[in-house]
Every structure is written in structure tokens, then in C-alpha cells.
Amino acid sequence: LDDLIAEGLITATGVAGLYGRSGRFEAIVDGLRRRISALPVAAQAEVFHFPPLMSRAVFEDNGYMSSFPHLAGVVATFAGDEREHRALCEDLASGVDWLCRCCSADVVLTPAACYPVYPLVASRGPVPLEGASFDIESFCFRREPSTDPFRLQSFRQKEFVFVGAPEQATARRAAWMAQARDLAADLGLRFSVEPASDAFFGKGGRIAAGRQHEEELKLELLVSIPGRDQPVACMSFNLHQDKFALACGLSGLKGATVHSACAGFGLERLAMALLAMHGADPKAWPAEARRLVG
Ligand code: ATP
Ligand code: ZN
């Protein structure tokens, strides 16, 4: 973290896991974004960039609050009258918690880039035979404050998303993974791909995480970072089975079963992994990594 700040790549905001990014850092992110979108497996995918906020109803339907309440961020806004405003100002002046004067809004902070895609597909009617493919990006929020620069509270996920027949979803994940591995190797990163699980909450969550791990529903591309004991998950390849399809009312032609899958690329993590691997000055990077991120 200190090195990234000292090199002028990111700047502190006074909050752990929340940083401003310099032009040089963003140039790397831009290059990665373009290179990932240029993968053959992204051809014909519809491109969308979503806001850092999403519908609270969709967030609830997708089960995020029941599975990951400790990571979620919701939005509260003030909707009171003059009297309540006076009370709010008094609380502010006396340092009393004023949040109880606000009420929850119909939006929440987006926790994963692909959540807005499923209702979009549902709104179009039955999923076509060839499935539906997306190349998307969003700022994501997760409440995991840390001084580890790889663990941010606000970060960007670029994702490929597929909705279609179960065997198509499985095949698509395999194709994403193969091409993402090649890209990571060409960028000069050292990595392995391993089964993983999401950080489900509580004891009940351990069962869900165990099943996810065992059935290899989540695979992560773990990058070795010079000077760190533990590798860092920079990409993940996920099979959701019918979870989001059921939650969002998705079905195929004649009611055929529909599954979904996504591949998530952590843009800040990938940029930081490249900086850690090849140095703070992209001009001095190996020629192939430099060419790939433009
Ligand atoms: P982790 O296990 O490290 O918490 P995750 O498995 O929950 O990550 P995913 O939900 O699979 O992450 O998200 C896809 C990608 O988004 C990750 O591979 C990573 O690159 C990035 N990402 C996830 N959480 C963070 C974070 N807190 N800070 C920065 N990038 C993140
Ligand atoms: Zn996803």
C-alpha cells in the first residue's frame, strides 16, 4: 500500500480500502479492460456498464442479504419534514448517531457486477436457444475494510455473463477459463486455478461454501505476488446453476431450464498484480505485458 501511494499510483482517502487512482494506474486498468473484451470468447457479447448502485428488490431476490449481510452496503436517505430536519441537525451538532433519522432507499450498493443482468434478460422473455452473452463492468462495494491494497471496499469487476442451457453454461465457463489463463500467462503472471467458495455468513453459510467448493462451482485464478505468502484471487469463474434464473424468473423456450455462469475479473487486483510483478513503471515492463495492456 505504501509503495503504491509513494509511487503516485493511488492516493489515500482516509478510509481503509478506498483510494483515488492516478492516470497511470487507470491507463493500466483501461488496457486490461480492452484486452479482456478482445478475448475471442467475448465476441458477440452485449456490452453494458452499470452504476455502482442497483435495485434493492433485485438484491433481495438474489439472496445477497441473507447470504452475505456482513459484506453488504445499503443506502439510507433523509425524507423527513422541517421538524425532523431540526432534530437531524441537533444530532449532527451533538455528535449523536443521526442515521436513525433516515430511511432505507430503493437502491443498494452493487455487490457483484452481474446482478443487474438477470432481470434484464428476464425482461426480454424466454432465453433464446443460443443463450444470452454479456460483457459488463460495474463498481462493486464490499464491506471488508483492510490495509491490504488487494482488498478494497470499492473496486471494479469486469465480468462475462452467460444465461442459457445448463450444458452451454458449463461449456462457456470452460472457454472463459481457458482464454483467461492464456491471458494471465501472456501478461507474465504466475498463477494457479483452484476451487474456491464465497464468504457466506455464519454456520449455515459453511454448508453452502462447502458445497460450492466440492462441486467446483467457483474456480479462482490465484496470482502469486512477490513478497506475499498467500496468492491473490484476481479472477473467478462461477457456475450459479439455476440460482439467479429462479430468483429472476428466467426460463428458456417452452419452459426449458436455464442456468447462468459468470467470469469476474478484478480490475484493480489485476493492475496491482502487474505492478507488483513487473514494477511501478509500465515503460520498464516486459515487452509482451506492455503490448497487451497497450
Ligand atoms: P475474495 O475471495 O478475495 O474475497 P471473491 O472470491 O469474493 O474474492 P468474487 O466475488 O469472485 O471475489 O469477485 C471476482 C473478482 O473481484 C475477484 O477475483 C477479485 O479479483 C475481485 N474482488 C473481489 N473482492 C475484492 C475486493 N475486496 N477488493 C478488490 N477486488 C476484489
Ligand atoms: Zn458474477
Distance 125 CA to ligand 2 centre (A): 21
* Ligand 1, atom 11: closest residue by C-alpha: 236
* Ligand 1, atom 16: closest residue by C-alpha: 266
**Where are any strands of DSSP class E within the chain?**
10-12, 19-21, 46-50, 53-55, 74-77, 103-109, 132-141, 154-164, 191-195, 218-223, 232-241, 259-266
- DSSP character for 97? -
Cβ pair 232, 191 in contact under 8 A: no
Cβ pair 87, 78 in contact under 8 A: no
pLDDT under 70: residue ranges of the chain: none
- Closest ligand by atom to 154 CA: 1
- Closest ligand by atom to 198 CA: 1
Distance 258 CA to ligand 2 centre (A): 16
Instruction: Give ligand 1 pocket residues (Cβ under 6 A).
Output: 112, 142, 144, 151-152, 155, 157, 196, 198-199, 220, 233-236, 264, 266, 268-269
Q: Where does 249-286 have alpha helices with state H?
A: 267-278
Cβ pair 255, 68 in contact under 8 A: no
Name the pTM for this structure.
0.96
From the alpha carbon of 196, which atom of ligand 1 is closest?
6
Q: Look at residue 159 in the predicted model and tell me its pLDDT.
A: 98
Q: Look at residue 239 in the predicted model and tell me its pLDDT.
A: 98
- Closest ligand by atom to 140 CA: 1
CA-based end-to-end distance of the chain: 25
Distance 236 CA to ligand 2 centre (A): 9
- What residues have a C-beta under 5 A from ligand 2, the ion? 112, 114, 262
Q: Look at residue 256 in the predicted model and tell me its pLDDT.
A: 96
From the alpha carbon of 153, which atom of ligand 1 is closest?
27
Distance 113 CA to ligand 2 centre (A): 6
Cα–Cα distance measured from residue 169 to residue 133, given in angstroms and rounded to the nearest whole number:
10
Among 154, 74, 126, residue whose Cα is nearest residue 245 = 126
User: 185 in the Ramachandran plot: left (φ > 0), alpha (ψ -120 to 50) or beta?
Assistant: alpha
66-121 pLDDT, tens digit per residue, is 999 999 999 999 999 999 999 999 999 999 999 999 999 999 999 999 999 999 99
Angle CA 159–49–72, to nearest 5: 70
Distance 84 CA to ligand 1 centre (A): 40
Cβ pair 11, 19 in contact under 8 A: yes
Beta bridge partners of 239: 261
* Ligand 1, atom 3: closest residue by C-alpha: 233
* Ligand 1, atom 8: closest residue by C-alpha: 233
Cell 478475448, located at residue: 39
* Ligand 1, atom 30: closest residue by C-alpha: 266
Cell 493492475, located at residue: 271
Q: Look at residue 167 in the predicted model and tell me its pLDDT.
A: 98
3-state secondary structure of 216: coil
From the alpha carbon of 221, which atom of ligand 1 is closest?
18
Cα–Cα distance measured from residue 236 to residue 219, given in angstroms and rounded to the nearest whole number:
6
User: Could you tell me how many residues make up the chain?
Assistant: 294
